Amino acid sequence: MDLYFSKEHEWVKISGTTATVGISDHAAHELGDITFVELPAVGKTVKQFETVAAIESVKAASDIYSPLSGKVTSINETLENAPEVVNESAEEAGWICTIEIADPTEVKNLMSKAEYDEYLKSL
């Protein structure tokens, strides 16, 4: 499974033509206690770096941008009643949705884990 990050602190795990999307541990930490996750509709078509979902915390509300273009195929329904899972496990159990990838070449616009770690140091 390949893992990539965006400059807006989303991660994407790619397995075949499916991408699982979430926010990074860094983003979850910066947001503080997450109180609500607005999940996308299954079947929604998204473009790379367009809003796919929204997240609210005690500190702020922010959009979650899709790291890749495609169609939403599933959502993490656990987050509807337990948004704090994102704080507890942002890069595993706190995933937001899965997307059927429309254009695999868009990965070139994302960062590897090592590149993302370097990027965080520059902030």
Per domain, the residue ranges of the chain are 2-103
CA dist., res. 71 & res. 57, Å (int): 26
Asked whether the CA dihedral 9, 15, 17, 20 is positive or negative, the reply is negative
* Model confidence band, residue 8 (pLDDT cutoffs 50, 70, 90): very high
CA dist., res. 53 & res. 65, Å (int): 7
What is the average per-residue pLDDT within 28-52?
97
Q: Which CATH class is domain 2-103?
A: mainly beta
**Is the pLDDT reported for residue 1 higher than 90?**
no
Give me the pLDDT at residue 106, please: 98
Asked whether the CA dihedral 50, 84, 30, 5 is positive or negative, the reply is negative
